[in-house]
Amino acid sequence: MRSIHFSTPLRKLSVRSPNGPVPATAQRSTGRPARRVGAVAVLLGLTAALLAGTASPASAAIITVRDGFEGTQAANWSFSHVGNGTGGLSSLQTHTGVRDGFISMRSAGFSSVGRRVQLPATTSCTAGIWVNPVLATQQINFEIIEPNSFTYVALKTVVLSGSAPYTFVSTQWNHGPRDVLVRVSLIGNSNGTQLGTWVDDLGILCHT
């Protein structure tokens, strides 16, 4: 894996990608400043709020994952794509901290970033992540996958404009497997439009 550096009108973008460089066209206009709204604690607070109506009074909340691509956490993540896509680690448009993930597409297919998670024995879980699309309106899937059969445990699909700020996307499931693949997929199109999405601050909260 090699390191690639691009100079952009905003700042230097540092990307480590197994599939080549993240396109330098995926950059912010100077009229749209970076948003660092909140910290991981905010994400977990939102996740807890989502679960407030579903957990029994005797249940206990377990913070299973807090992962913002920082430090050694970056090694947890892998990138894949089908079609003309790429992905890698960047420092250009973080939600919090100094690192994030970036995925892009320029054809039909998809580009994904994901990591495996070992869950405790639980009755229900909520996962949430922040995504920040650029360039054009795009479909983003937030996927919880059983990795052996590669079937969905949970799926949340959103359509966001290229001018949307960092947006919190979450999904819930009950009595699922303990080994899951958590993945964000950017869905491409057939007209060759360049799409890109920054990804940051994954949180998973489970109840026993």
- pLDDT 10s digits, 56-102: 555 677 778 899 999 999 999 999 999 999 999 999 999 999 999 99
> If phi over 0 gives left and psi between -120 and 50 gives alpha, with beta otherwise, what is residue 69?
left
Domain ranges in the chain?
40-207
Q: Is the model's pLDDT at 205 over the cut of 60?
A: yes
User: How many angstroms separate the CA atoms of 79 and 99, rounded?
Assistant: 15
CB 81 within 8 A of CB 105: yes
Q: What is the pTM of this model?
A: 0.76
Q: Is the model's pLDDT at 11 over the cut of 80?
A: no
Q: Is the model's pLDDT at 2 over the cut of 80?
A: no
- Which superfamily is assigned to 40-207 in CATH? Galactose-binding domain-like (2.60.120.260)
